[in-house]
Every structure is written in structure tokens, then in C-alpha cells.
Structure 1
Amino acid sequence: MKFSAAFVSVALAALAAAQANNTELGVEAIEAHFSNAGIVPSLLASFDPVGVLSLSYSGVGDISPGQSLTKDQVGPTPVLAVTPANSTVQLTGNFTLVMADAGPVGTDETAGQTRHWLVNGVTLTGSSPLNVSTSAGVAITDYAGPAPAAGSGAHRYVILLYTQPDNFTAPDGLDTPNVGVSVFNLADYVQSSNLGSIVAGTYITVEEGTASVTPSATSAVVTSTLPAAHSSSASSTAPPSPSTSGTTANKSNGAGSVVTPLSSVFVAALFGLGFVFF
């Protein structure tokens, strides 16, 4: 198989375009997830991420938004990474990482949320995707795996990365390390500390036992209906498959559907440009 320099250049450009479309689709998908799961507007008044937050647990692997996990699976501290939505998104400086229990769908969030993770001074390292590093940050509350009460339903654990501006000031009681898991109000914390906008976010669900109440209804996210799916289909021979994730390539997501692998988009783009392998 022989490749000319022009062939490789065009091929790489096609792959880069496919990757950009896939990330934009991922951003739109997680926005839809947060809305459909009631996280917006119940917990967050709005959610306009500028990147995709990937979440991985040891022994489980990459997690799809809203994926149901057991208490044992979410015990270890997860690994996080952020992929900017496009080349214009520059993520520098410090960030704040928070994980809060938003409870089952329909929970009254004005009563506050249980804080499972809060780190200030988080940094992003490496190239896209950017690794979320807490090593140099101030761990107000170290990661504590979700452990919902038995029979209380499927709790939504929301992980968010906020920009942390220079005028950030942690409120009293949450301004020193090693504060245990406790209830706080996420919206009040964000406002009082002058946190910036949300960079990216995702969520998981954990349930212990059988719920004693019927949760509020939610609907699945079908990525093929999102605007970015239409633009990405122009560089592929087939439209995206219905999915509840839109961010995980070549593997099943929580709904059992599969997102088109980037390698397939790459090959399709090459044939679409008239290249012949020999």
C-alpha cells in the first residue's frame, strides 16, 4: 500500500474534521442528557459546556453519561479528562472540580446536595484530551464514592469542572482541606465563591436496593437528532447511530447502541474523496 504526501495530508485533514464533529456532537449530547435527566434546570439553571468531560473508573473503563454503576464500581477515585469543543477553546489557569449528589430525578434541590468531591486549584495537563490533575490542587473534600441509602432510588452524581478566576474566594467552612462529606448548596457555593462558568460535566447513577417510590420519567438522548449529527454526516457514508452518549467510540453505551468509530469515518472520508488503495 503506497501513500503520497498529498494523500496523507488530505487523510489527516479528514480525520481531524471527523474528530471535531464528534466532539461537538458530544457537547450537544451531554447538554441533552442534563436536560432530560432533570439536572437542568433543577440543579443547574443552565449548562453550556465548552468541552466533553470523560470519566473512567478502574475495572470499569470509560463511563457513558448517566450510566448505572454499583457502589463497589465507583469506590476508586476516577480518572478525568477534557476534550475542548473546538480549536478556539483555550483551557488554561486553575479550575474547581466538584461532585455532588443531585438525588433521584425530581429531587428538590433547594434542600442542598451531598458533596462527594471538591478540589480547588485543579489544572489541565497534556494535549487534547487534557488530563484533569488534582495533584497540585487543594482538596477541600477528597473523593468519596457514592453510597446512596437503600431504597432511596437511583441517585444522580454530577461531576462538574468550573473555571476558577483570580477573584475566587472559598466560603467559610469550605476554605481548608480535609472537610468531610456533608450537605452544601452547590448554587450558593458557586455564587459566593465567584466561580466562573462550567467547562464540562457528566453524571452517573448509583442505586442501592429497590426504590420504594416511582421516579419521575425521563427520556433517552438520540444523538442522530442533534444539530452536530447532521454536519458530521456530511463526512461519513452513514448517519450516527442513536446513542445515549455520543462520546464513546467503538463501544456500547448505557442504552446498548454504538457510536460510529472515528476510524470508520476516516476510511469513509478517504473513499469519498476518490482515493483507491493498492
Structure 2
Amino acid sequence: MFLFAATTVALSFLGPLVNAQSTNDTALGISAIEAHFTNAQLVPALLASFSPSALFTVTFSGVGAISPGQNLSVEQVAAAPELTIVPANSSVSLAGNYTLVMADADVVGTNESVGQTRHWLVNGVTLKNGTSSNSSSSSTPLNVSTTGGTAITDYAGPAPAEGSGPHRYVILLLPQPSSFSPPSNLSKPNVGVSVFNLDDYISSSHLGQPIAGMYFDVQQGTTNVTIPATSAVVSSTLKPATPASSTASSSASAAKQSGTKNAANRSENSLVAIPASLIILLASYIYL
């Protein structure tokens, strides 16, 4: 009886601790991908800015979940990956339709204004179980489902030219608002791989800014082409990202609730500071 009660008390402390840690890890992961996009010169060359509100996980068969800028072979990326995302926090609303795109941004230093090779483009993408599972208390990834969407360009595995250097392949998930209207040449299925301008496509289609992104490198053979060096991302220097809430709130309401929120934050911080070992020790003490 005493052991059961002690265990219940311990678990009540562990719940907020685990949830807070999970949210913090996601926020730190988002900060890391932002830094990687900048260090790889995808920002501002390909995207003027990049402030994701969800963490993308891209998993290739036989490889597993990849890391930003990971070097992969043509064979490893021949088949479409599985995609999941985790929202940064409970203020991020994930609902509606999205556009999924993968484009070849070529090597670092490329003039992106000339366009990119489109390897994947699907409109009407949905997040499986994602219309309501957006609470920071849940770290369960949401599946990015292309089933039921319109596959403008089916996934085509990267195959950069021999000796052309490490090409950067960027995968983005962008929200489709009610005003979404793709250009006529990219509005129907079965359009083959071809060059398009990603920035122009986003703006002309009235797509929102990417909520999640990832990229990887593929190179065939060696190259004598001089490619600008990029700096490495040092995770220890990063701070967790704090995406803006997708739900507007008034200043008056925020001021009214500030006292309650501050008290809640102090309580949560206190819980996070309690190691799990002490909680277990507490349970043992109560039992004895």
C-alpha cells in the first residue's frame, strides 16, 4: 500500500519532468536545423529566411533517421523516405493541408536565382493525427502523409553529375492557405523532374513559410571544383528555439495571466531540477 502510494507520488513528479525535457530537446533540435541551413548557405541563398515551428525527421530505408547535411549515396536515397514532425510546443497549431517539396540546391555557392531541380512535389499533404495532437505534453511524432495528396512530381532519387561536387537536397513542408493556387504547369499530377525556381513557386502559389525542413548531401566521384567552405554547427552554443504562437492573444490577456504563468514556470523549473534518482529515493523512504 505504502509502496504504491509512494510510486504514484514519484510518477506525478516524473511526468512534468519528462515532458519539459522532451519539449526542450525539440526546441534545441529546431535551433540546430536553423543553424545548419544558415551554415550550409541555404539561407539566404535558397530561402530568404527559415524559422521552422516543428522538427523534421527524415528516415531512409537501411539508413535510419538522417542528420542535417549527412552524406548519403545515390543507392541510399533511391526510394522516398518516411517523414514525421514534432511541433515545437503547444502553441504550434498543425492542421489543414501542406505542400511537400524536395529540391536540389546544388553545391555551396551556387547562384540559386537560376533555379533548382525539382525531385519531389506533393500538394494536399496531411499530418496523420495532427489536427489535434499538438500539445507539448505529447512527443509522439506526427506522420507526414502523402496519401490522398496530389503528386505533381513523384519522388525521384538524387543522381548528381559525376564530379559535380556534393549537392544539397532540401526537403521542406509548407502550409497551404485557402488562397493556395499553384501555377498551371505544376497543378496536375505526373510532371517529370525538371528545373523550377523554388522561391518563385512559393510566392506565386501563396504558400506559407516552411514549418519544417531538412537537407542531405549526395556526391558522385571526386571533383576539382572549388567549393566555399562552411562552418560546423556547435550544438553547445545553441539556445532552444521559441517559435511564435500560431494563436493570437491580446496584450491585456497576456498581462492578466502573467502572474499565473510565472508561478507555473517557477513550479515547473523546480520540478525539472529534481533528479529522478531523488524521486526514487523519496519513494523508498516513504515505503520504509
Q: What is the TM-score of this pair, normalised by structure 2?
A: 0.80
- The percentage of aligned residue pairs carrying the same residue is 56
Are 2:181 and 1:169 equivalent residues in the alignment?
Answer: yes
Are 2:79 and 1:73 equivalent residues in the alignment?
Answer: no
Q: 2:277 aligns with which of 254, 257, 271?
A: 271
- State the alpha-carbon separation in 2 of the partners of residues 45 and 16 from structure 1: 33
- State the alpha-carbon separation in 2 of the partners of residues 268 and 60 from structure 1: 37
Deviates more, 1:127-136 or 1:267-276: 267-276
The superposition leaves residues 90-130 of structure 1 with CA deviations (integer Å, 9 ceiling, x where unpaired) of 10000000000000000000110000000000000135311
Give every structure 1 segment of 4 or more consecutive aligned residues whose post-TM-superposition deviation is greater than 6 Å: none
Are 2:7 and 1:4 equivalent residues in the alignment?
Answer: yes
Once the two structures are TM-superposed, the CA of residue 142 in structure 1 deviates from its matched residue by: 0.4
Match of 1:14 in 2: 17
- State the alpha-carbon separation in 2 of the partners of residues 107 and 165 from structure 1: 31
Are 2:104 and 1:101 equivalent residues in the alignment?
Answer: yes
Once the two structures are TM-superposed, the CA of residue 214 in structure 1 deviates from its matched residue by: 2.3
Bigger RCO of structures 1 and 2 (CA < 8 A, at least 6 apart): 2
Match of 1:140 in 2: 152
Deviates more, 1:6-15 or 1:39-48: 6-15
Are 2:166 and 1:154 equivalent residues in the alignment?
Answer: yes
Match of 1:24 in 2: 27
Q: 1:36 to 1:140 in 2, by over 3 A?
A: same
Equivalence map 1:119-268=2 (5 Å): 119-126=122-129, 127=133, 128-228=140-240
The superposition leaves residues 55-104 of structure 1 with CA deviations (integer Å, 9 ceiling, x where unpaired) of 00011111011100000000011000010001111100000000000000
Matched residue of 1:14: which SS?
Answer: helix
Q: 1:110 aligns with which of 109, 113, 129?
A: 113
Once the two structures are TM-superposed, the CA of residue 228 in structure 1 deviates from its matched residue by: 2.4
- State the alpha-carbon separation in 2 of the partners of residues 111 and 228 from structure 1: 34
- State the alpha-carbon separation in 1 of the partners of residues 215 and 274 from structure 2: 32
- State the alpha-carbon separation in 1 of the partners of residues 72 and 179 from structure 2: 37
Are 2:31 and 1:37 equivalent residues in the alignment?
Answer: no
- State the alpha-carbon separation in 1 of the partners of residues 192 and 281 from structure 2: 59
Once the two structures are TM-superposed, the CA of residue 277 in structure 1 deviates from its matched residue by: 6.8
Which letter maps to 1:92? A
Once the two structures are TM-superposed, the CA of residue 275 in structure 1 deviates from its matched residue by: 3.8
* Matched positions, count: 242
- State the alpha-carbon separation in 1 of the partners of residues 227 and 201 from structure 2: 27
- State the alpha-carbon separation in 2 of the partners of residues 143 and 33 from structure 1: 24
Residue segments in structure 1 that go unaligned for 5+ positions in a row: 230-265
Q: 1:180 to 1:108 in 2, by over 3 A?
A: same
Match of 1:85 in 2: 88
Cα root mean square deviation, aligned:
1.9
- State the alpha-carbon separation in 2 of the partners of residues 186 and 47 from structure 1: 14
- State the alpha-carbon separation in 2 of the partners of residues 272 and 15 from structure 1: 15
The structure with the largest alpha-carbon Rg is: 2
The superposition leaves residues 125-168 of structure 1 with CA deviations (integer Å, 9 ceiling, x where unpaired) of 13531100000100000000000000000000000000000110
- State the alpha-carbon separation in 1 of the partners of residues 278 and 112 from structure 2: 50
- State the alpha-carbon separation in 1 of the partners of residues 105 and 19 from structure 2: 36
Match of 2:55 in 1: 52
